[in-house]
Copies of this chain bind each other. A is one copy, B any other.
């Protein structure tokens, strides 16, 4: 069972090695009749691009996406949407020295042990370059979600020991794209930037945490029992390179709480709902809401209409300029030292990837949720 696809009804398959001819993907299951803003797709891709922030690597990929199918006059046909990004800045000879060495913290050894062969150039398919295809797929998913009024925004919550101290409800999430750290707290920008620059100067790297918030989610997304919404989100996040953890709502902090503290009481309130043909337009009164949101937007694996909020831990990038002990393919101990410039911290560039994976999961569940009721079967109440 190959593992290069995600989603059941809205399904992305990606392909490509870092230094092969191209990377790309196929979105299968995007409904027909969606007017796609292709410039918006490219803009999301630009945010992930090396060089998009001053805090990333200097690898320069134009990363212009080419669409091959599935569209006519910018409208989806209901057929597979294939796309590719040519690999133009692939200086593969840079990697000759790494052909026979297993870099600590990288996938070199495990891929080779699994497949008996690996493309060592730029990490081959284990390179984070593959995530560019996810961003394209996620950008399409986002436009499908926008029809329902759903909004997805992630931001950097932590870089090393530097954290955002305020709850997301006190932040202007749209400000993320105004700073190179991709955080939503103006107060944290300088602290985080300074730490990343310091780590870079030391030839080292640093980890971080990205938080993600989804607003105006329809009630009912998520398929119990195994495909709970948070389960599919957890999988999607842990499928991103360098991630080490996922938590939703109070997450690990909930382990230290009592039920009387952690339960979210139900109350009656209002909720925004997209009207026919419009977005975010109608206010539904008498909706069942929760007074608090310790749960993070799901109950029993199904969205409850509150903001979905979760966070994702990233390890420090494995590539560092410092000397490291390791082993080569002949079974000898060697010392390696990375040349060139690399990302000292992955989280600024990973923000669009977290968003993309979130959009993919939600779009899939949006479609799945269309099939759960028999024709003309109305809810029992209100």
Verify B251–A245 contact, CB threshold 8 A: yes
Q: How near does chain B come to A243, taking the closest CB pair, in angstroms?
A: 8
Asked if B225 and A3 make an inter-chain contact with CB atoms under 8 angstroms apart, the answer reads yes
Residues from chain B with Cβ under 8 Å of A368 in the complex: 1, 3, 371
A216 at the interface (CB under 8 A from B): no
**Which of chain B's residues has its CB closest to A251's CB?**
B245
Task: Tell me, in angstroms, the Cα distance from A260 to B206 when the chains sit together.
Answer: 9
Given contacts A113-B379, A118-B77, A207-B255, contact A299 B106 (CB under 8 A): yes
Question: What does the 1/0 interface line of A207-232 toward B look like (CB < 8 Å)?
Answer: 11100000000011011111110111
Binary B-proximity of A147-179 (CB < 8 A = 1, otherwise 0): 110000000001011000000000000000000
Q: What are 29 A-B residue pairs whose CB atoms fall within 8 Å in the complex?
A: A3-B222, A4-B226, A14-B225, A17-B77, A22-B68, A31-B373, A32-B372, A32-B374, A77-B117, A104-B266, A105-B262, A105-B264, A107-B301, A110-B299, A110-B304, A116-B380, A160-B257, A207-B254, A230-B238, A234-B237, A244-B250, A244-B251, A246-B247, A249-B315, A265-B324, A276-B376, A291-B325, A370-B370, A370-B371
A54 at the interface (CB under 8 A from B): no
State which of B32, B107, B227 has its C-beta within 8 Å of the C-beta of A1.
B227
* Inter-subunit contact A316/B82 (CB<8 Å): no
Which residues of chain B are near A319, meaning CB under 8 Å?
A: 259
Within 315-349 of A, Cβ neighbours of B (below 8 Å) are at 315-320, 322, 324-327, 329-331, 333
Whether a CB of chain B sits under 8 angstroms from the CB of A263 is: yes
A262 touches B331 (CB 8 A): no
Q: Which of B69, B239, B247, B317 contacts A15 (CB 8 A)?
A: B69
Q: Kindly list chain B residues whose C-beta atoms are within 8 Å of the C-beta of A303.
A: 110
Kindly state whether residue A135 has any CB partner on chain B within 8 Å: no
**A189 within 8 Å of B (CB atoms):** no
Chain B contacts of A239 at CB under 8 A?
225-228, 231, 301
The interface stretch among A45-53, A56-64, A123-131 is A123-131
Chain B residue numbers with a CB within 8 Å of A370 are 370-371
Is A76 an interface position by the 8 A CB rule?
yes
- Interchain residue pairs A-B with the least CB separation, the first 6: A107-B300, A33-B377, A3-B223, A3-B227, A245-B247, A235-B235
Measured CA separation A304–B108 after assembly (Å): 10
A209 to chain B, nearest CB (A): 5
CA distance A373 to B246 in the complex (A): 32
Q: How far is the CB of A253 from chain B (nearest CB, A)?
A: 8
A3-B224, A6-B226 given; A316·B69 CB < 8 A:
no
Q: Is A41 in the interface zone, CB < 8 Å from B? A: no
- Besides A77-B115, A265-B324, 18 more A-B contacts (Cβ < 8 Å) are A1-B1, A2-B9, A3-B222, A3-B228, A4-B79, A15-B26, A17-B70, A34-B377, A102-B266, A115-B373, A160-B258, A226-B235, A231-B235, A244-B251, A265-B325, A266-B326, A329-B382, A331-B382
